[in-house]
Structure 1
Amino acid sequence: MEHTIQSNITNYKNQLKSYIETQNEQALYKAEKLSKSFIKNNILPEEIVNIHIQALEELYPNLSEDIRNSMGFLLETMIAYGLAHQEMQHLKEEQYALRSEIQVAANMQNTFLATEKPNIKGLDIGAVTVPMHQMNGDYYYFVKGNDGTLGIAIADVIGKGVPAALCMSMIKYSMDSFSEESMNPKMILSNLNRVVERNVDPNMFITMWYAQYLPQEGKLQFASAGHEPGFYYNSHKGTFVEMEAKGLVLGVLPTTSYEQYELELAPNDMVVLLTDGVTECRCGDRFIETEEVLEVIKKYAHLPAQQHVERVYKHFYNMQDFELKDDFTLIILKKSV
């Protein structure tokens, strides 16, 4: 080890002397090769400075005290720099590993929580969900019954990241386990409430809006567990009406019951379901008003449902300077003629 250090000092001293005497490009090229050798041998910055000091002292034994002191100052600075640099590299490696793990978790979430839009006669369905970060705290799910009915769930975990994704996975698989006889909205929410209350951290709550569409009757039954209200668009009047539904968020009390509501859809009527990432979009420093959201939704109402939700999303994404402030989920149901 001592031989290696002395060899480094001797080599560095010779290169330094050559550059001081000639100051030509060839000497600089040799210095570049020397620096690559230091990197290869894991020579730290402060060690290089120390080698420089020793080389100077050998080349110039009568070096002034001021120069010696300045080099000592540089050495201490580089020691501190080296420690900080090592810590930063360690944090970068940890951050990279965490980012990789989150990406794997996000891919798993996309797989586990995937849902397909079913074909329901007389109903055009559009759905879009985009996470603010890699993991999505929003969730939507479609359940087609054997009798032709359609269950629609939209939910939002109060919390983000991996825990939120795990909650959503539990919600999905719980719904899959319920019998078809218990698929009406108030029963779905009551059953899920018990699951969440027993299995989820008390500091984490889930809001949910669940509906069941009865195609033969053209009716939509729905209930809410503290979720953003949906909106009903009456095509005859050309107006939106808030679909207010009261209910406690999932997981607060084990015996919570939920009230069920019903709405009859006429041809060209529309139902809008969303999360607060839509209603709380920002334009500059202000939150946009609900009326503004509905105006944008109405603007693209002539489009097929899937194109409709995608254009609305792009509108608000662009409006927020291409940076979401929250997870964004929007579902639009259109009754066909």
Structure 2
Amino acid sequence: MQDAAGKKEHRLSLSVKMNLVTTGMILLVAGGLLLISYIVQGRRVTAMYYNRVETAATNAADLVDPDLLRSFRDKVLSEEFSTVRDAALSAGNPDIVKNYLEKQPSYYYEELRSEEANSGEGIDHYESLAFDYEVLSYDMQVARSGAVVTDVYIQYDKDGVTWNLVDPNEDFLYLGSIEEELPEFAAMEDNGYFPATVHKSRYGWLCSAYVPIKDTETGEAIAVVGADVDMNTIMQARKEFLVNSIIFVLLLTGLCILLNIFLIRRLAVDPLKKLTDAACGFAAVDREYTRDDIIHVDIRSNDEIGDLYHEIQEMQGRIVDYTGRMTAYAAEQSRIGTELELANRIQMSILPEVGPEIKDRKEFLLQASMTPAKEVGGDFYNFFLIDEDHLGLVMADVSGKGVPAALFMMASMILLKDLAVPGRKPSEILMQANNDICRNNKAKMFVTVWLGILKISTGLMTCASAGHEFPAVRGEDKTFRLFKDPHGFVLGGMEDMKYKDYELKLSPGDALFVYTDGVPEANDAAGAFFGTDRMEEALNLAQPGHPKDILMKVRESVETFAGGAEQFDDMTMMCLEYCGPGGA
């Protein structure tokens, strides 16, 4: 066996346990705070970028000249421009579109274009449609600058179709192209407002918002300004916050853990170790304790550990006093145990044995037994010849355990035998015994009794029951069955109770089995009872056989069922087989 020192070397110390628990709690709280702060800050960052997207789109819409945009839109969406763009796409040359725009007059110089056409002079760049495009592009660039957005552009929506008009990040082939349909914007009205929305398109993972550009006089929506921000930018900002937060939390957590370890050792572990060593020294004393063995440790803290120290001192003082009392108590218990063992032997010696006056009778066979439980109990049986032709049988169970029950049992047994005189019926015997017991029953104890008187010459048995178990009877079919006899009240319960006689006619070969509740109420380890069904089965398995063999078979069946479980009630049985007037 491993000694105590060896166990202490391999166990997990209190210091380690407390540090692990508190460290785990600190980490859990830190992780929770980190998660909460990340979620809250992440939402704030996301909301900030959403707001910047919508602000950029709004600012761009405010910068654009609606009349200029309307003129530019109409020309870009014209069939003439579409033809030029198709040619540029086929050639893969955006300069074709650029050259076309250079030759088309600006919105501001429409009338000048007519005059110059008559004079044969060309259009200057600042008077061309290409300059209008640069103005609109510049407005988008201004709106994008400082707004932390990826792109700002102008589109035109009509009947679910979106045309691209202006995007500083694209070449001239972009003008007049049709944008892909995205399900996230399916609910968007033509050239209407749409809040910041996350989506994926050919341009990447974006957050986009749309604001209409309206005619200042009519309020008509001419087109929409769209603003994009790359979601990776948002996620990178959140990631940076998370990394910085983790570094800060790890540093703070490490500091808290070190401080926690120091305080736990200083305030709890060291004082407790002193107490442990002192208490182990007290426990190691292998002689009778004295007051000098009580521990004295330098612990001055005015907290629970100080209280524990004083409680240990008081407890050890009580132990010193208690061990002295226990020595005297052990001697007293030894004396009581000896007396109980003597009482059990006296109780067993009072029960009758099958002597020659019974054993030599040829008219019947009789056997009785009692297997006592752990404590002295109150079960008893009795059999005696009332006269040469009448045999008295008694089976009884006194309430309670211990010496009082044993004394009550002896008194009841003697009383019942004294009252069983020739000519007196079982009901009369029980009635008289009940009244005698009730008059002197200060302990309020009671006893259940089954009493039978067999007329030996005829096999007629007259019986009465004072609340006892049903007897089992074997008749012509050679099978034991419970006989549900009429029950009277227990003896000692109430005076002047009436009891009812009943008769059993026993033929040669018939048998009677009576018992106390220790048989059917024998229990196994799971608490299940043996029961009367198993008892009947055991009785019938023992046939044919002497009553002694029948009792032995029932006892073996009970012991097999119990499986070694401790029994708390005596197991008392008696079996009579009637052989007839001529004997067996």
- Separation in structure 2 between the aligned mates of residue 197 and residue 155 of structure 1, nearest angstrom: 17
Aligned partner of 1:146 in structure 2 is 387
**Alignment pair present for 1:109 and 2:344:** no
Q: Give structure 1 stretches of 5+ with no counterpart.
A: 1-34, 54-63, 67-71
Where relative contact order (Cα < 8 A, 6+ residues apart) is larger, the structure is 1
Instruction: Select 1:312's aligned residue among 554, 558, 562.
Output: 554
Shift of residue 334, structure 1, vs aligned partner: 1.4
TM-score in terms of structure 1 length: 0.74
**1:10-65 superposed Cα distances (whole Å, 9 cap, x missing partner):** xxxxxxxxxxxxxxxxxxxxxxxxx99xx6xx7x3553678xx9xxxxxxxxxx96
Give the SS at the match of 1:316.
Answer: helix
User: Partner of 2:477: helix, strand, or coil?
Assistant: coil
| Structure 1 CA distance for aligned equivalents of residues 554 and 387 of structure 2 | 32
- Cα displacement (A) at 1:165: 1.2
1:88 matched to 2:326: yes
Identity %: 26
Determine helix, strand or coil for the equivalent of 2:577: strand
The 1:327–1:184 alpha-carbon spacing in structure 2 relative to 1, beyond 3 Å, is same
Contact 1:224 1:258 (C-alpha < 8 Å) held by counterparts: yes
Q: Corresponding residue for 1:302?
A: 544
Mapped contact 1:202–1:252 kept (Cα < 8 A): no
Q: Which amino acid aligns with 1:331?
A: M
Q: Could you say if the C-alpha distance between residues 330 and 78 of structure 1 is closer, same or farther in structure 2, counting changes exceeding 3 Å?
A: same
Query: Partner letter of residue 345 of structure 2?
Result: N
Q: Does 1:326 align with 2:569?
A: yes
Superposition CA RMSD, Å? 2.9
Contact 2:377 2:405 in 1 (8 A): yes
Code of the aligned partner of 1:154: M
- Note closer, same or farther for the CA distance 1:266–1:86 as it changes in structure 2 (3 Å cut): same
Q: After superposition, where does 1:31-180 map in structure 2 within 5 Å?
A: 44-47=289-292, 78-111=316-349, 113-117=350-354, 118-119=358-359, 120-178=361-419, 180=421
Taking the aligned partners of 1:122 and 1:243, their CA distance within structure 2 comes to 26
The one-letter amino acid of 1:97's match is R
Q: For residues 329 and 193 of structure 1, do their structure 2 counterparts lie closer, same or farther at Cα, with a shift above 3 Å needed?
A: same
Equivalent-residue separation in structure 2 for 1:258 and 1:124 (angstroms)? 28
Q: From the superposition, tell whether residues 78 and 239 of structure 1 become closer, same or farther in structure 2 (CA, over 3 Å).
A: closer
Report if the CA contact (8 A) 1:152-1:211 is conserved.
yes
TM-score (normalised: structure 2): 0.44
Q: Matched residues in 2 for 1:320 and 1:146: separation?
A: 41
Query: What is the count of residue pairs matched by the alignment?
Result: 283
Q: What is the letter of the counterpart of residue 317 of structure 1?
A: E
The equivalent residue for 1:181 is: 422
Residue range with higher mean Cα deviation, 157-166 or 117-126: 117-126
Contact 1:270–1:334 (CA<8 Å) still a contact in 2? yes
Larger Rg: 2
What corresponds to 2:518 in structure 1? 277
The Cα shift of 1:208 comes to 0.2
After superposing the two structures, state which structure 1 stretch, 205-214 or 124-133, moved more.
124-133
**Residues 291 and 237 of structure 1, relative CA distance in 2, 3 Å threshold:** same
Q: For 1:156-305, list aligned pairs within 5 A.
A: 156-178=397-419, 180-201=421-442, 203-236=444-477, 238-283=479-524, 284-305=526-547
Range 123-132 or range 237-246, more displaced:
237-246
Q: Structure 2: any 5+ residue segments left out of the alignment? A: 1-284, 300-308
Alignment partners' CA distance in 2, 1:143 and 1:225: 19
For residues 143-200 of structure 1, the C-alpha deviation after alignment (integer angstroms, 9 at most, x for no partner) is 2122231100011111111111111211222234336225431122112111111122
Confirm or deny: 8 A CA contact 1:317 1:324 kept in the other structure: no
Runs of 4+ residues over 4 Å off in structure 1: 72-78
